[in-house]
Chains A and B, each alone.
Chain A
Amino acid sequence: MVSLTDNAPATQQPRPRRRQKGSGLNRVLMGILLVICTIWLIVPFGMAILWSLVDPDTGWNYPDVLPPSLSLARWVEVWTTTALPDALRNSYLLAPTVAIITLILATPTAYCFARYDFPGKGLAQVATLLPLVVPGFVLAIFFSSLIFNLGIYSRFLSILIAHCVLFLPYAIRIMTVAFENVQQDLIDAARDLGASPWARIRVAFLPALAPGILASLIIVFIQSIEEFAIAFIVGAPNFVTIPSILYSYLGYNFVRPNAAVVSLVLVVPNVLLMLGLERLLKSANPAQAGVKG
C-alpha cells in the first residue's frame, strides 16, 4: 500500500505560507476527529487488551464495567495449551523467506521497468497488478486445486509459492521506484574511473536501492504474516499460521479472551515494524535523495 504514496506528498512544492483561513474551524474539526479516533482505535484495542488480561477465575461478566481482576493466566494458557507456538514458528519462518525470495524475483523486472523503454511497457506494468485484483479466496481455492493436481504436498512450499506471487506487485513497484532513483551520472563516473561491475553496483546502485530493498522486505513480511485466505485454504488442517489460529477462535468455538491474545500477538509486532518503515520512507524521500540524473 505504501508504494502508492510515493507520488503524493513528495512532489509538493513548498508554497509561500499565507494565513490559514478558518483555523478556528480546523481546531473544532481536530477536536471532533480526536474524539472519533479514540472511538476508532483506542476503545477497540483497549477492549482487546482488557479481554486478554481477564482473570479466568473471576471472569468478566455483565454488568461489570471493568474486569474485577487482571492476570496473565490467559496468555500462559494460550501459549501452553494451543497451537500458537507452532503458528508463530510457521508464520515467522514463512514471512522472511517469502520476503527475501519475492525481492529476488522482483528485482530483475523492476530493473527492466525502471531502466528500459520498450513497446507494451505500460501494459506489462498493469499486468503485474493482476494478483491484487483476483479475489483472495478464488486464488486460494484454485491454487490449492492446482497444487493437488500437480502432486505438491508440502504445505510450507505451497504457501511460500502463493505468497511470493501474491506480493510480487508490491516488491516490483517499490523496487521500480528505487531503481529510478539510481543516478546515471554516478554509474558513468564509476565506469570512467575503471570500477569493476561489482564496484559499480556497490557505489552507484546499492546506496540508492537500500531504502527500497528494506521497504520491500518489510512490506512483504507484514503482508505474509497477515495473509489469511491462502494460509487457511492451502494450510488446512495441519499447517497453522497466526491468522488461521485467530480464525479458529472467531468461528463456531468463539473464545473471546483467547482471540484477544492472538489478535494482539498478530498486530503488535506488525505495528512496530510499520512505524520503523515510516521512518525509513521518510529518510528515503526522493526529494532529499536527489533526482535521477
Chain B
Amino acid sequence: MSWRRTATILLLLMPGLGLILIMIGSVFYVAVMQSFGYFNLVGEDVFSLEHWRKVLDSKAFNRAFQYSAYIATVSAIGSVALAYPIAIWLRRPFRGSLVVSALLKAPLFVPGLVAAFLFINIVAYHGILNQLFIWLGFIDEPIRMQNDRGAWGVVFLQLWKNMPFALLLLSGAVQGISDEVLDAARDLGAGAWDRFRKVIAPLSVSAMQAALIIIFIGAAGDFAFQVTAGPTNVQSMSQLMVFLKDSFGRWNQAAVVGVCLMGLALGGSLTLALISRLLLRGGRW
C-alpha cells in the first residue's frame, strides 16, 4: 500500500473509529487509574491497593457481583432459549407472520425505565394481576410481588426486553438455513429435536453467540430494572457503583466496582459464547 493510500484510510477512520478508540480508551484508563488512587477530584494522587482491598472484602460487593452474574446468565440463556422456538416457527413466512414478528419485537423500542414502570403497575399490591388472582379465587388477599426477593421481576423484565433482540438476531440466521438441508436431515430420520440440536443450532451458533454476549453485558450492567423492580436487600453492580460514588464521593471504590463489572461483562459473556460453541460444534470453529 502506498503511503498516500494509507494516509487517506487513516484520515477517513479518524473521526469515527479514532474518536471511539480515544474516548473508550480514556474512560477505561480513568477507571483503572482511579481504582489505584489516581485521578482524584480532591486530595493527592497516591498509588494504593487499599481501595481494592476495601471493596473486595466487603460483603455488599460480593453479593452484588454474584447477583449481577446470576441475573446476566439467566437473562442471556433465557432470552435465547425463548427466542429459538419462535425464530424457527417464523422461519417460513405465513399469513400474519409479519404482524406476529412486529408485535414480538415491539419491546425493543420501549426504554428500560418505561418497561420497569409498566411492569410495577401490573404487579403492584393493588395492581391488575393481584385483582385478577383474587377475582379468580387463587388467593384471598393481595400478595407482595413488587421488588420480590428472588428477583423474578428483574428476570422477567430482562426477558421481556431482550428476547426480541435475540429473536432479531436468530431469525436472520435461522432463515438463512436452506430447506434442502433440513429436508435432508428429515429424510435421514432426524426428529424435531435432532434437527434443532444437530442442524439448526450449529448453523446459527454465531448469531446465538452474538445474542448471548450482548444480552449478558447489558444485563450485568443493569441499573434501571434493579432500582425500580429489583429486590431491596441486594444491589446490582451498577447500583453499587452509583451508590459508592454518591455517598461520600467514594470514587476510588466506585472505580474498583466499575473495573470488576467490566471484567464480569467481558469474562462472563465470552465464557457463555465459548461454552455454546463447544456444546454445539464440539470445538470445531
Interface of A is mostly: helix
Q: Report whether A135 and B220 are in contact in the complex, using a CB–CB cutoff of 8 Å.
A: yes
Residues of A within 8 A of B168 (CB): 1, 4-5
Q: In the bound complex, what is the Cα–Cα distance between A12 and B171 (angstroms)?
A: 12
Residue among A127, A233, A270 making CB contact with B20, cutoff 8 Å: A127
Q: Report whether A145 and B30 are in contact in the complex, using a CB–CB cutoff of 8 Å.
A: yes
Residues of B within 8 A of A127 (CB): 17, 20-21
Q: A137-B221, A141-B241 are in contact. Are A108 and B27 (CB under 8 A)?
A: no
Q: Report whether A228 and B16 are in contact in the complex, using a CB–CB cutoff of 8 Å.
A: no
Q: In the bound complex, what is the Cα–Cα distance between A109 and B218 (angstroms)?
A: 26
CB distance from A101 to the nearest CB of B (A): 10
Residues of B within 8 A of A247 (CB): 113, 224, 227
Interface centre among B5, B19, B266 (most CB of A within 10 A): B19
Segment touching A, from B46-54, B101-109, B195-203: B101-109
Residues of A within 8 A of B9 (CB): 112, 116, 118
Q: Report whether A267 and B110 are in contact in the complex, using a CB–CB cutoff of 8 Å.
A: yes
Q: In the bound complex, what is the Cα–Cα distance between A1 and B224 (angstroms)?
A: 20
Contact with B along A136-170 (1 / 0, CB 8 A): 11110111011011000000000001101100110
Contact with B along A32-76 (1 / 0, CB 8 A): 010001001101110110010000000001110100000000000
Interface of B is mostly: helix
Chain B, Cβ-Cβ closest to A101: B15
Q: Give me 12 A-to-B residue pairs in the complex whose CB atoms sit less than 8 angstroms apart, sorted by A's number.
A: A33-B100, A33-B103, A40-B160, A41-B103, A51-B121, A112-B9, A127-B21, A130-B24, A135-B218, A135-B221, A138-B261, A162-B23
Interface centre among A105, A135, A169, A172 (most CB of B within 10 A): A135
Q: Which of B105-134 contact A (CB under 8 A)?
A: 106-114, 116-122, 126, 128, 131
Interface size in chain B (residues, C-beta < 8 A): 83
Residues of A within 8 A of B96 (CB): 30
Q: Report whether A1 and B16 are in contact in the complex, using a CB–CB cutoff of 8 Å.
A: no
Residue among B14, B106, B242 making CB contact with A41, cutoff 8 Å: B106
Residue among A20, A134, A137, A263 making CB contact with B92, cutoff 8 Å: A20
Q: Report whether A108 and B121 are in contact in the complex, using a CB–CB cutoff of 8 Å.
A: no
The chain B residues found within 8 Å of chain A, CB to CB, are: 1, 5-6, 8-9, 11-17, 19-21, 23-24, 26-28, 30-31, 34, 39, 41, 89, 92, 94, 96, 100, 103-104, 106-114, 116-122, 126, 128, 131, 160, 165, 168-169, 171-172, 175-176, 179, 213-214, 217-218, 220-221, 223-224, 227-228, 237-238, 241-242, 245, 251, 254-255, 258, 261-262, 265-266
Q: In the bound complex, what is the Cα–Cα distance between A246 and B221 (angstroms)?
A: 20
The chain A residues found within 8 Å of chain B, CB to CB, are: 1, 4-5, 7-9, 11-12, 15, 20, 23, 26, 29-30, 33, 37, 40-41, 43-45, 47-48, 51, 61-63, 65, 104-112, 116, 118-119, 124, 127-128, 130-139, 141-143, 145-146, 148-149, 161-162, 164-165, 168-169, 172, 222, 226, 228-229, 233, 243, 246-247, 250-251, 256, 259-260, 263, 266-267, 270-271, 274
A-B complex: 4 closest residue pairs judged by Cβ atoms: A135-B221, A109-B16, A8-B172, A44-B118
Q: In the bound complex, what is the Cα–Cα distance between A47 and B128 (angstroms)?
A: 9
Q: Report whether B41 and A148 are in contact in the complex, using a CB–CB cutoff of 8 Å.
A: yes
Q: Report whether B172 and A7 are in contact in the complex, using a CB–CB cutoff of 8 Å.
A: yes
Residue among A5, A12, A40 making CB contact with B103, cutoff 8 Å: A40
Q: Report whether A138 and B258 are in contact in the complex, using a CB–CB cutoff of 8 Å.
A: yes
Q: In the bound complex, what is the Cα–Cα distance between A44 and B92 (angstroms)?
A: 30
Q: A45-B118, A145-B34, A146-B26 are in contact. Are A1 and B165 (CB under 8 A)?
A: yes
Q: Report whether B27 and A233 are in contact in the complex, using a CB–CB cutoff of 8 Å.
A: no
